[in-house]
Chain A
Amino acid sequence: MDGRFPKPSLRVQMKVGKMSTNTAPFLSIRKLAKSFGAFQALRSIDLDIHRGEFVCFLGPSGCGKTTLLRAIAGLDLQDSGSIQMAGRDVSRASPSERDFGIVFQSYALFPNLTVADNVGYGLVNRRRPSAEINRRVDELLALVGLPDQSKKYPIQLSGGQQQRVALARALATAPELLLLDEPLSALDAKVRLRLRDEMRSLQQRLGVTTIMVTHDQEEALAMADRIVVMSDGAVEQVGTPEEIYRRPGTPFVADFVGHMTFLDAIVTGPGQVRVGELDLLVANAAPFSVGTPVRLAMRPEEVRTRSITAETPNRFDATIGDLAFLGSYCRAHLEPTNSRSTRIAADFSTNAMRDLGILPGQVRTVAFPPEALHVFAGGGR
């Protein structure tokens, strides 16, 4: 495992050039829509993907992420809208007229062909000399870390090894675009973690533009350059993992990625909201006028318990409700002493639990950092 290279130096070695937001996007999707009967799977999707990027389509099942991937591949054509790939309009092109490699959740390895024949499957058809094909297959198998398995059949390999073979096969024809349809979800948790790092570093080494569909937010956060969060056939938010996590654009994103407590609140002034009997300052003063009901959202791990002074904003006393032990941290439910009906989830690391001696039933002073509070429209829900 060759640890992660710093990104900038990698970009230079990439085969197809730098990722750059200045030049035209590699993949450009406009107003893409598709229905299955009355069900709208995609509602007018607009999306740009740049060369060398690793993009994750993230969302719950049925959100349209796989439909979008299959439309990009040409496997299921959209009803309307356009797709441009490397400056070429491929909206109506068949899969074989597009340039991509694909790895499915099932891997779809040909069971009756050896590993080498699977990897070389796309090369044989191009009438290359067999020596060249063999060389290329060996190169690819070495690349995915399976140099001595070429004579085996897929059934003789572990799930993780099968996944690597599928990846090698998808990369064999050196496609400009790599599509991954939930490639890790059929694997054990441990193997999944290892492969996810390996796939990410391989992608960075090759610099191949990659789109991965996943419903696992942790996978998306760990692997992607950018995440496209989808819900109900539409794009909710596009951004870097950090942006998605720190500044969710919609309540859906806030709820889907990571844990989030939602509270009903009312805007009481510029940068000020009231939750029950609590008055709170918010940093991201959204354009809401005074008196508007809003939804306030915050992550459990953002609740502060240490180094709170008289100057700390959004400071209040709360009773520690039930505590759930979750390994490296505990999840508590806080009840503010002057607003009993409000329940707020808070995560305390096992360290903090030990150092501060947190126990159920205690009353402690806690604080919400104003920049960790997100304000969304639509209170009263």
Chain B
Amino acid sequence: MSHAATPLTMTNATVKIATPRLSERHVAGVLILALCAVLILIIALPLWALLSKSLEDSHGRFVGLANFVSYATTPTLLSSLTNSLLVASVTTGIVLPLAFLYAYALRRSCIPGRGLFYAAAMVPVFAPSLLSGLALIYIFGNQGLLKSWMMGASLYGPVGIIGAEALYSFPHAVLILVTALSLSDGRLREAAEAMGTTRWRIFHTITLPGARYGVISAAFVVFTLVITDFGIPKVIGGQFSVLATDAYRQVVGQQNFPMGAVVGIILLVPAVLAFFVDRAVQRRQSAMLSARAVPYTPRPERRRDLALLGFVSVVALAIVGPYGIAIWGSFVKYWPYNLSLTLNNYDFATVDPEGWTTYGNSLLLASLTAVIGTSLIFTGAYLIEKVKLFPRLRAFAQFLAMLPMAVPGLVLGLGYVFFFNAGWNPLNALYGTLTILVINTIAHFYTVGHITALTSLKQIDSEFESVSASLKVPFWSTFRRVTAPICLPAILDIAVYVFVNALTTVSAVIFLYGADTKLASIAIVHMDEAGAIASAAGMASVIMLTAVAVKLAHVGLDRLVFGRLQRWRQR
């Protein structure tokens, strides 16, 4: 500060400009109101439509809880409730210990190739859920390679559903448990070892309690995923009906909308429960770890590492194997009698009049959802987190943004049917169009993207907006020049997450697609119904490979973004 004693006078007069033309307050108010309106339209109103439909008869008259009573007194309907509970509980019971040990091996041991094993566990995320069902059919089905292993039992029913659901839900449990096991204070363990505590005692006094919130959270997530999944029971369930297939049959098959709504609301219960348990658990989890905790770094231990390596290899093979076989099967001429390879199964037009166009539709949907959805989600999160005006409205928007997490896709899809298909609704022209598919998919996956955006926004200095205000720079300039560029990695994460899920989802969109907007994931269901399993597996493989390719591109782009475009991150 030694030089330049020149007083700062020259620019004083010229720089001062009167108050900005556009009042920030007004712009913020309009934007937050618009956000609330959009969220009400795409989330709140469809759910309201579902709720009110469940209280009406098929002529639209209010009948109170009569539909619920008739549901409870119809044995066939009630049996699918018990079926669903059975399948979901058993799957949770199988997946949880396996996923825990898997995550434990990844985080608390020194086995080689942890990154690879992590990736292997994540494979099912990139495929439509029903591909795991198709894969099991290839292996254990009536024409399965290892049919003899079933010892005469039928795959088509609870056994197949549970097996396929376990495959499909495994990565979600691993994801949560890996996080839970990463959050641990290494010093606790060191203190225990210094006192000569046995390994088993350390495990059940330190490791397990430390991860117990993760275990609870994972249990609820798996249970909810399974009970609300539509694709797998559709493909492999046979005559074994569950809630999700019931809802579909009631609405699409029998046009019994009120009963479909009742099933939807029953499906909502575990999801809502899981949502609140998860929130309570997260609050505790974060409180458990002090800022001064030292992360635990495992030390090599030959016997433990070898045992875990063996376990992890078997599980990874059990996950990747079926998907590999399904892809192989899609190239096979006549499974399992003529295993010579062919591309004929990929000539989709022979089994589905739409042919490859459904794949194009899916790509278009996923791209539009990623672009529009990410913009909406990130801007919305910014308004909620960083604009300090209108606290009540922002709290309301925050509530709406968290809501989709508690709503299974199938239930949201039903809500969309009831709301957008209603005669009185001027928006019913949207029904069956790509627009409604995009809107629905954005709403379906809103919350995870929203949380990602919030997390990244919370990491930014909260005074940026204050500084900008003092410099008379409106918040939208700071959003464009500073906040969005800083959050670019998170924005990419959201876009890829939304893209992959838009590609693979079946449950919500199956109610909403139109004649010329059929999606690839729905085509898989139809091809499977038509008995063209190889083509169904082929289409599912195409989707999976697309999703994996997008993910790999994302990893590469992330490196590029960090390396070149975000030079400012490096010292």
Chain A positions within 8 Å of B, measured between CB atoms, are 1-2, 13, 15, 73-75, 94-98, 100-102, 104, 106, 108, 110-114, 121-123, 125-126, 128, 132, 136, 139-140, 142-145, 147, 153-156, 164, 169-175, 179, 198, 201-202, 205-206
The stretch of B303-311, B461-469, B519-527, B532-540 that contacts the partner chain: B461-469
Chain A CB within 8 A of B17 CB: yes
Which B residues are CB-close (under 8 A) to A143?
A: 1, 3-4, 8
**Residues of A contacting B17 with CB < 8 Å?**
126
CA distance A198 to B1 in the complex (A): 6
Give the Cβ gap from B463 to chain A, nearest Cβ, in Å.
4
A-B contact count (CB 8 A): 133
Residues of B within 8 A of A198 (CB): 1
Q: A112-B485, A136-B15 are in contact. List 15 more A-B contacts (CB 8 A).
A: A95-B470, A97-B19, A104-B466, A106-B463, A110-B482, A111-B569, A113-B481, A122-B471, A143-B1, A143-B3, A145-B3, A155-B571, A174-B8, A175-B470, A201-B1
Q: A97-B19, A143-B8 are in contact. Are A112 and B486 (CB under 8 A)?
A: yes
Q: Is the CB of A125 within 8 A of B477?
A: yes
Interchain CA distance A85-B559 in the complex, whole Å: 50
Q: How far is the CA of A96 from the CA of B482 in the complex (A)?
A: 18
For A100, the chain B residues whose CB sits under 8 A away are: 470
Residues of B near A74 (CB, < 8 A) are 469
Q: How distant is the Cα of A174 from the Cα of B472 in the complex, in angstroms?
A: 12
> Nearest Cβ distance between residue B262 and chain A, in whole angstroms?
43
- The residues of B with any CB-CB pair to A shorter than 8 Å are 1-9, 11-12, 14-17, 19-20, 24-25, 461, 463-464, 466-474, 477, 481-482, 485-486, 566-571
In the complex, chain B residues whose CB is within 8 Å of the CB of A132: 11, 14
**A-B pairs, 4 with minimum CB distance:** A122-B471, A95-B469, A108-B463, A153-B568
* B474→A96 contact, CB < 8 A: yes
Select B472's contact among A1, A112, A125, A142, beta carbons within 8 Å.
A125
Given contacts A132-B11, A201-B1, contact A108 B473 (CB under 8 A): no
A-B contact pairs, 21 of them (CB 8 A): A2-B2, A75-B466, A95-B470, A96-B473, A98-B470, A100-B470, A101-B471, A104-B463, A104-B467, A108-B466, A111-B568, A113-B482, A122-B470, A125-B473, A125-B477, A139-B4, A139-B8, A145-B3, A170-B470, A173-B16, A174-B16
Q: State the CA gap A299–B568 with chains docked (Å).
A: 51
A380 shortest CB reach to chain B, Å: 42
Residues of B close to A174: CB separation below 8 A: 8, 11-12, 15-16
Taking a contact as CB atoms under 8 Å apart, the answer to whether B24 and A96 are in contact is: yes
CA distance in complex: A179, B569 (Å): 28
CB < 8 Å neighbour of A155 from B2, B15, B463, B568: B568
B482 touches A112 (CB 8 A): yes
Chain B neighbourhood of A175, CB < 8 A: 470
B486 shortest CB reach to chain A, Å: 6
Q: Quick check: B2 and A145 within 8 Å, CB to CB?
A: yes
> For residue A201, which residue of chain B has the nearest CB?
B1
B485 — which chain A residues lie within 8 A by C-beta?
A: 112
Residues of A contacting B25 in the complex (Cβ-Cβ under 8 angstroms): 94
Q: Which A residues are in CB contact (< 8 Å) with B4? A: 139, 142-143
The CA of A205 and the CA of B17, in the complex, are separated in Å by 24
| Shortest CB distance A139–B (Å) | 7
